[in-house]
């Protein structure tokens, strides 16, 4: 692919005057620990979620290496069960959900709507500390041996499990309130603090995505809080709210859990869509094919997403009527993702496309998310789900969406806004190599799992029939490549943090509002009152027109 070098004009070091930014305004620990600046809180979340990604990732490597041999290479079944459970819990609640909304959402949302800060800055800091306390409780549970019920905590097993269920559940309960606080904060910010001229349909699309995510976060998480509370009470005091002997019905727990957990997967994918709604127009130098399509499909996903949870329970003993109802609703919500994908691709038409690392991640996202997304529609087809449910096919599907979709978008966001957050440029060569390796490692890891699932290999198996071993070996090798490429990415980004060239205020020559302010931005985001005459995606005029 020919890469025409344009747009990146590094500003020589001595010319950049000593300017006061949100980073060098204060260096004491207290200024970081008690900051109410949304940018610093965003950076704090970014650092913490990277640590959590490393923790969850190491569990993943343990799991994959264990599955090299049919009898299990590393640990006994009890240890394996605790490892896959903690992998799920750490990845879902400690990394995936806060990764893009809390880190990049916190940093960028106020800037993108021309506000000085979020609506409730103190609540913003409080939600970070609630997140830390919740993460601490999950680490305590980990130290006590970890929980072995699977991240879904299905009763009655979670009510009788001897493992550290109660501290884990308590940790996630606290994490839930952190996401609710962030969600409420963002919703009120978008409603009440948009600068003059920033109307609902002249906002960057990343703000729409974070707004949709916040709506889901705020409305779905309470139901998770109450169902995990009940699991905790059942496990500790044995009140038997789902115990059939005392009038309970275990399938009802699944209803409550999935009422949260399906919107939760939209909490994870919507910000990823927001990132690419920014990346594609910028690197194609063109307005999105249809701004309204993306904005309305974000709201469509946010609300219809609440009505589709039943497709996780097709074989759990649900009535035929409900299975059909959830089936059609799941098909309905799938078209919103399809609209977004078509809009991104059509955005590139008649554009002026250049290839940088974020765009490579977009191509990887496009292939993996559409490929993975389509298998989601397939598993939402009831009769096919009977064979696929709880097998490696489903494992492959949601990893294609979560890793292929959200992790790729997180890496793209990391590279796209690296100059804005740190004021420095990462090395493009390393970025391209790492992106390709991440894509290759991911595909080799998870594509064989589709075939394993078709072959009938159930998930959460510590030992398996020897017929499945070849595919497992390929998958494990792939996971090593993926692990290595993630470490490589971390490496060159840390290096770029200190030795990267100074990036200008708008290295990608973008029209989006966050590039109006210098990078790294000053403490109150804009030196003077921001006036955005241009539409955030108006590439019909050269960049100089941005500053009037």
Task: Identify whether the C-beta of residue 339 lies closer than 8 Å to the C-beta of residue 293.
Answer: yes
Lookup result for tokens 């399938």: 251
Work out which of 61, 74, 126, 370 binds other proteins, going by CB under 8 A.
Answer: 370
- Six-digit token pair at 253? 């727990």
Work out which of 87, 286, 399, 420 binds other proteins, going by CB under 8 A.
Answer: 286
Q: Is residue 63 within the footprint of other proteins (CB under 8 A)?
A: no
Work out which of 117, 270, 482, 489 binds other proteins, going by CB under 8 A.
Answer: 117
Q: Is residue 512 within the footprint of other proteins (CB under 8 A)?
A: no
Nearer to other proteins, 124 or 422 (CB): 124
Query: CA 492 to CA 498: how far, in whole Å?
Result: 10
Q: Where are the beta strands (DSSP E) in 201-294?
A: none
Work out which of 34, 335, 487, 494 binds other proteins, going by CB under 8 A.
Answer: 335
Q: Is residue 375 within the footprint of other proteins (CB under 8 A)?
A: yes
Lookup result for tokens 């490892």: 83
Q: Is residue 298 within the footprint of other proteins (CB under 8 A)?
A: no
In this structure, the dihedral spanned by the alpha carbons of residues 171, 172, 176 and 182, taken in order and rounded to 10 degrees, is: 70
In the complex, minimum distance from the CB of residue 443 to other proteins, in angstroms, rounded to a whole number: 13
In the complex, minimum distance from the CB of residue 195 to other proteins, in angstroms, rounded to a whole number: 10
Work out which of 226, 487, 494, 495 binds other proteins, going by CB under 8 A.
Answer: 226
Q: Is residue 250 within the footprint of other proteins (CB under 8 A)?
A: yes
Query: CA 369 to CA 406: how far, in whole Å?
Result: 9
In the complex, minimum distance from the CB of residue 497 to other proteins, in angstroms, rounded to a whole number: 27
Distance of CA 207 to the CA centre of its chain: 15
* Cβ contacts of 374 within 8 Å, gap of 6 or more: none
List, in sequence order, every residue forming a beta bridge with 458; answer none if it has no partner. 391
Query: CA 542 to CA 544: how far, in whole Å?
Result: 6
Nearer to other proteins, 342 or 492 (CB): 342
Cβ neighbours, 10 Å, residue 509: 19
Work out which of 31, 491, 538, 547 binds other proteins, going by CB under 8 A.
Answer: 538
Work out which of 193, 474, 481, 490 binds other proteins, going by CB under 8 A.
Answer: 193
Site track for other proteins across 132-161, x = CB under 8 A: ----------------xxx---x-xx--xx
- Six-digit token pair at 151? 């991240």
Q: Is 78 helix (H, G, I), strand (E, B) or coil?
A: helix
Nearer to other proteins, 310 or 483 (CB): 310
Window of 251-259, 403-411, 428-436, 496-504 that interacts with other proteins by CB under 8 A:
251-259
Window of 119-127, 136-144, 197-205, 407-415 that interacts with other proteins by CB under 8 A:
119-127
Work out which of 104, 128, 208, 464 binds other proteins, going by CB under 8 A.
Answer: 464
User: What phi, psi does 508 have (nearest 5°)?
Assistant: -95, 5
Q: Is residue 23 within the footprint of other proteins (CB under 8 A)?
A: no
* Angle of CA points 395, 479, 51, to nearest 5°: 90
Number of alpha carbons in the 13 Å side-chain half-sphere of residue 174:
19
In the complex, minimum distance from the CB of residue 57 to other proteins, in angstroms, rounded to a whole number: 22
Stated length of the chain: 548
List, in sequence order, every residue forming a beta bridge with 391; answer none if it has no partner. 458
Work out which of 74, 126, 140, 325 binds other proteins, going by CB under 8 A.
Answer: 325
In the complex, minimum distance from the CB of residue 382 to other proteins, in angstroms, rounded to a whole number: 4
Window of 21-29, 220-228, 424-432, 433-441 that interacts with other proteins by CB under 8 A:
220-228
Q: What residues between 417 and 456 interact with other proteins by CB under 8 A?
A: 451-452, 454-456
In the complex, minimum distance from the CB of residue 284 to other proteins, in angstroms, rounded to a whole number: 7
Q: What residues between 78 and 97 interact with other proteins by CB under 8 A?
A: 78, 81
**DSSP-assigned letters across all residues of 254-310:** HHHHHHHHHHHHHHHHHHHHHHHHHHHHHHHTS--S-HHHHHHHHHHHHHHGGG-GG
Q: Is residue 480 within the footprint of other proteins (CB under 8 A)?
A: no
Work out which of 26, 132, 225, 481 binds other proteins, going by CB under 8 A.
Answer: 225
Cis status, amide bond into 221, omega within 30 of 0: no
Nearer to other proteins, 10 or 351 (CB): 351
Q: Is residue 374 within the footprint of other proteins (CB under 8 A)?
A: yes
* Cβ contacts of 335 within 8 Å, gap of 6 or more: none
Work out which of 68, 339, 437, 481 binds other proteins, going by CB under 8 A.
Answer: 339
Work out which of 25, 144, 487, 541 binds other proteins, going by CB under 8 A.
Answer: 541
In the complex, minimum distance from the CB of residue 82 to other proteins, in angstroms, rounded to a whole number: 10
**DSSP-assigned letters across all residues of 424-489:** B---HHHHHHHHHHHHHHHHHHHHHHHHHHHTT-BSS-SS--GGGHHHHHHHHHHHHHHHHHHHHH
Give the total of residues touching other proteins (CB under 8 A): 145
Q: Is residue 547 within the footprint of other proteins (CB under 8 A)?
A: no
In the complex, minimum distance from the CB of residue 214 to other proteins, in angstroms, rounded to a whole number: 9
Q: What residues between 384 and 403 interact with other proteins by CB under 8 A?
A: 384, 386-387, 389-391
Q: Is 454 helix (H, G, I), strand (E, B) or coil?
A: helix
* Cβ contacts of 199 within 8 Å, gap of 6 or more: none
Q: What separation in angstroms does the CA of 9 have from each of 209, 223, 375?
A: 30, 50, 43
Q: Is residue 509 within the footprint of other proteins (CB under 8 A)?
A: yes
- Six-digit token pair at 196? 């003059």
Q: What separation in angstroms does the CA of 124 have from each of 48, 175, 398, 410, 456?
A: 15, 14, 30, 21, 46
- Both ends of the chain: CA-CA distance in Å? 36
In the complex, minimum distance from the CB of residue 502 to other proteins, in angstroms, rounded to a whole number: 19
DSSP assignment, residue 391? B
Q: Is residue 529 within the footprint of other proteins (CB under 8 A)?
A: no
């Amino acid at each position: 692919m020919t890469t025409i070098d344009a747009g990146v004009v590094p500003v020589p070091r001595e010319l950049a005057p000593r300017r006061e930014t949100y980073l060098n305004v204060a260096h004491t620990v207290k200024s970081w620990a008690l900051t109410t600046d949304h940018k610093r809180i965003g950076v704090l979340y970014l650092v913490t979620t990277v640590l959590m990604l490393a923790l969850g990732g190491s569990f993943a490597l343990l799991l994959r290496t264990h599955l090299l041999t049919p009898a299990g290479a590393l640990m006994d079944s009890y240890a394996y069960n605790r490892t896959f459970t903690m992998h799920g819990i750490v990845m879902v609640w400690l990394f995936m959900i806060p990764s893009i909304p809390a880190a990049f959402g916190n940093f960028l949302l106020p800037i993108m709507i021309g506000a000085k800060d979020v609506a409730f800055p103190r609540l913003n800091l409080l939600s970070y500390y609630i997140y830390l306390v919740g993460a601490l409780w999950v680490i305590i549970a980990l130290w006590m041996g970890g929980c072995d019920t699977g991240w879904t905590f299905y009763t009655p097993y979670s009510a009788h499990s001897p493992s550290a269920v109660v501290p884990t559940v308590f940790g996630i309960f606290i994490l839930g309130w952190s996401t609710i606080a962030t969600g409420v904060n963002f919703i009120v910010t978008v409603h009440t603090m948009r600068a003059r001229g920033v109307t609902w349909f002249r906002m960057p699309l990343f703000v729409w995505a974070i707004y949709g995510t916040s709506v889901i976060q705020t409305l779905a998480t309470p139901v998770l809080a109450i169902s995990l509370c009940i699991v905790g009470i059942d496990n500790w005091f044995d009140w038997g709210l789902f115990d059939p002997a005392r009038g309970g019905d275990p399938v009802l727990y699944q209803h409550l859990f999935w009422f949260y957990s399906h919107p939760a997967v939209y909490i994870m994918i919507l910000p990823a869509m927001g990132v690419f709604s920014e990346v594609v127009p910028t690197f194609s130098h063109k307005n999105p094919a249809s701004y309204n399509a993306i904005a309305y499909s974000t709201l469509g996903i946010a609300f219809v997403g609440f009505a589709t949870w039943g497709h996780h329970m097709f074989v759990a003993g649900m009535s035929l009527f409900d299975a059909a109802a959830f089936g059609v609703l799941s098909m309905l919500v799938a078209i919103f993702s399809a609209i977004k994908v078509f809009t991104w691709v059509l955005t590139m038409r008649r554009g002026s496309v250049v290839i940088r690392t974020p765009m490579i991640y977009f191509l990887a996202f496009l292939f993996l998310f559409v490929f993975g997304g389509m298998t989601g529609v397939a598993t939402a087809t009831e009769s096919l789900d009977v064979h696929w449910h709880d097998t490696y096919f489903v494992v492959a599907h949601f990893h294609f969406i979560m890793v292929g979709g959200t992790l790729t978008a997180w890496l793209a966001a990391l590279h796209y806004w690296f100059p804005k957050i740190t004021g420095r440029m990462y090395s493009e060569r390393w970025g391209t190599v790492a992106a390709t390796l991440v894509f290759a490692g991911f595909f080799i890891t998870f594509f064989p799992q589709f075939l394993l699932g078709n072959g009938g290999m159930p998930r959460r198996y510590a030992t398996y029939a020897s017929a499945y071993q070849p595919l497992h070996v390929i998958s494990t090798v792939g996971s090593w490549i993926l692990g290595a490429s993630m470490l490589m990415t971390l490496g060159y980004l840390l290096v770029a943090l200190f030795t990267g060239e100074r990036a200008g205020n708008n290295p990608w020559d973008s029209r989006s509002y966050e590039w109006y302010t210098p990078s790294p931005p000053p403490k109150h985001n804009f030196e003077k009152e921001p006036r955005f005459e241009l539409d955030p995606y108006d590439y019909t005029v050269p960049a100089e027109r941005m500053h009037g």
